[in-house]
Amino acid sequence: MSLCFCSISKPSFLTRQPEFVNPWTPSPNPIKFIQFSNLLRTRSKDFCFKAVHTDGVGVLHPDDAVSERSAAIDAEPEGQDEGVVNGVAGSTPEDSDEARTQIRSKKSDEKRGNVEESDKESRFKLRNGREVFEEKAYVVGVSRKSDSEGSFSIEESLSELEQLADTAGLHVVGSTYQKLATPNPRTYIGSGKVAEIKSAIHAFDVETVIFDDELSPGQLRNLEKTFGGDVRVCDRTALILDIFNQRAATREAALQVSLAQMEYQLPRLTRMWTHLERQSGGQVKGMGEKQIEVDKRILRDQIAVLKKEIESVRKHRKQYRNRRFDIPVPVVSLVGYTNAGKSTLLNKLTGADVLAEDKLFATLDPTTRRVQAMKKILTKIFSLMKNGKEFLLTDTVGFIQKLPTTLVAAFRATLEEIAESSLLVHVVDISHPMAEQQIEAVDKVLAELDTLSIPKLIVWNKVDNAKDPEKIKLEAQENADVVCISALTGEGLDDFCNAVQEKLKDMMVWVEALIPFDKGELLSTIHHVGMVEKTEYVENGALVRAYVPLRFARLLTPMRQTCVS
């Protein structure tokens, strides 16, 4: 599963505070820093105008901006301009004409300013309940000669990058790519392409240039220098981290995202302090360098604190999971490419209300719900799950190609959930033109997570959206491990539940046991988690024949016996 960002709506970690500050408790008076890359510009308190970034004078606070603007308005109120001109004592008609011209041009400047202002206003869009400034972005990629066939083509990868940019709240105005043997180590792309992008920046008023691969700190620096001005340069990793930052809704997710962001920031802590040298006319050479070292140390300390916090969250989560294992209900995890429909499926089957939307990375935290035969919403499924038993269904964070490694590492605690499941359900958006490549990308991450030994069921979702649904359904039928569904319409959900039951049954063992009457709770647990074939009440208890999960079968060992009848 990266620049550095500090979300504008959440306080930057890179504030100069001696101790780590929890992201959810903004410091009352943080020292304002130039922010690296805030892809999300909101009207929140921390909103800062980019022009100020390059001035090197710090971050302009929104309050400052408001007061500056109102001061200008106060100085020249509407309708008073004429009066000022008429009031100029001894002014010649020429003077007066000149003044009028000046005023007229001032007015048209003002008008232009107002247009720009209203243009800016119209670019604030509501995203995730917040007003976000929609920046103009340009996306750039490199098609390597070594790119294997069957992997994402450059066009497809860039189109995904555009979707990521859209999810982050940016407005993509254009894209380009270059075929290279390997990316240029200095500027990622060649000098001709750099010049082409520079022209596009001017032509389209581009504010952010996004690169499809992770840029080295040097490449990032060189490109920023070349594009100059206010243009921000960022890469795919940065974009994904920013989206995660926008979407982290729980403390655990916020901690994990912050850790990933800091680790990404650490080698990129440059140029932040060069303004000090510029301001002092180069007299304090090396001052910026020293400050970078100080910042790096602060960041490293903060990373250490964060890691400790995450470790404690991890322990807590493990305890919770162990408790859950005491009740041996099998855990089925939904995994898959982002936007495949995992949350929609969970919602449909359990009545949960996990956010499901046509955006990438809607889900960051695992949500577990019980799939019960008794649920009203499952009446149709219930009739088909005659012998069906409960299982826990867990929704997880989606995967993506070129997943930032810092993010995979930071999310390891959450992803442990997957590694400990009884069954993995790989949800695929079969209507997506890149379905095959997405499956491959997911399999790659699953392999990294040590999950190859866990049984897997593949679900072809969004069949309703496919070009030829009947053909897809036929293909699925020919494949034993594939079920075709539409989580949206509910089509195929009965088959899905049956397939899950069958898979779970494969993992169960056959037991015949005599359960004494004083162990009534065991009998109900067998009914709860196992598949009971027959129960017979005899003199000293209940004789049960059932398939039960292996873990639970061990508990029954002392009571096991072969039934006579």
Ligand X SMILES: Nc1nc2c(ncn2[C@@H]2O[C@H](COP(=O)(O)OP(=O)(O)OP(=O)(O)O)[C@@H](O)[C@H]2O)c(=O)[nH]1
> Which one of 42, 343, 422, 461 is in contact with Mg ion (CB under 5 A)?
343
Cα separation, 377 vs 346, in Å, equals 12
Q: Shortest gap between Cβ of 312 and ligand X (angstroms)?
A: 26
Q: Shortest gap between Cβ of 400 and Mg ion (angstroms)?
A: 13
- Reported in sequence order, the residue ranges of 388-540 that DSSP labels E, i.e. its strands, are 391-395, 423-429, 456-461, 482-484, 508-515, 531-538
Site for ligand X in 323-342 (CB under 6 A): 336, 338-342
Using CB atoms, what's the residue nearest to ligand X? 398
Burial of residue 539 (CB within 10 Å: 0-12, 13-18, 19+) is exposed
Q: Shortest gap between Cβ of 8 and ligand X (angstroms)?
A: 22
Q: Shortest gap between Cβ of 377 and ligand X (angstroms)?
A: 16
Cα separation, 258 vs 264, in Å, equals 10
- CB closer to ligand X, 273 vs 361: 361
Phi-psi region at 58: left, alpha or beta (left = phi > 0; alpha = psi -120 to 50): left
Q: Determine the size of the site formed for ligand X (CB under 6 A).
A: 23
Cα separation, 308 vs 302, in Å, equals 10
Cα–Cα nearest to 130, from 171, 173, 168: 168
Structure letter (DSSP) for residue 340: S
CB contact set of 55 (below 8 Å; sequence gap of 6+)? 275
Q: What is the dihedral of CA 32, 35, 39, 41, to 10 degrees?
A: 20
Question: Considering the rule CB under 6 A, would residue 368 count as an interface residue with ligand X?
Answer: no
Question: Considering the rule CB under 6 A, would residue 478 count as an interface residue with ligand X?
Answer: no
Question: Considering the rule CB under 6 A, would residue 366 count as an interface residue with ligand X?
Answer: no
Given Mg ion, ligand X, none, residue 328, with its beta carbon under 5 to 8 Å by kind, binds none
Question: Considering the rule CB under 6 A, would residue 344 count as an interface residue with ligand X?
Answer: yes
**300 within 8 A of 294, measured Cβ to Cβ:** no
- CB closer to ligand X, 194 vs 407: 407
Binding mask 487-506 for ligand X (x = CB under 6 A): xx------------------
Tokens of 200: 């596009």
Question: Considering the rule CB under 5 A, would residue 363 count as an interface residue with Mg ion?
Answer: yes
Binding mask 285-324 for Mg ion (x = CB under 5 A): ----------------------------------------
- CB closer to ligand X, 331 vs 508: 331
Residue with tokens 């940016």: 170
Cα separation, 25 vs 111, in Å, equals 42
Site for ligand X in 260-299 (CB under 6 A): none
Question: Considering the rule CB under 6 A, would residue 486 count as an interface residue with ligand X?
Answer: yes
Q: What is the dihedral of CA 37, 42, 43, 45, to 10 degrees?
A: -50
Q: Shortest gap between Cβ of 340 and Mg ion (angstroms)?
A: 8
Q: Shortest gap between Cβ of 448 and ligand X (angstroms)?
A: 17
Site for ligand X in 382-421 (CB under 6 A): 398
The DSSP-derived string for 283-314 is: TTTTHHHHHHHHHHHHHHHHHHHHHHHHHHHH
The interface region with Mg ion, picked from 21-29, 240-248, 300-308, 356-364 by CB under 5 A, is 356-364
Q: Shortest gap between Cβ of 487 and ligand X (angstroms)?
A: 4
The DSSP-derived string for 246-274 is: HH--SHHHHHHHHHHHHHHHGGG--SSSH
- CB closer to ligand X, 222 vs 339: 339
Question: Considering the rule CB under 5 A, would residue 362 count as an interface residue with Mg ion?
Answer: yes
Chain residues that interact with Mg ion, rule: CB under 5 A = 342-343, 362-363
Chain residues that interact with ligand X, rule: CB under 6 A = 336, 338-344, 356-358, 360-363, 398, 461-462, 464-465, 486-488
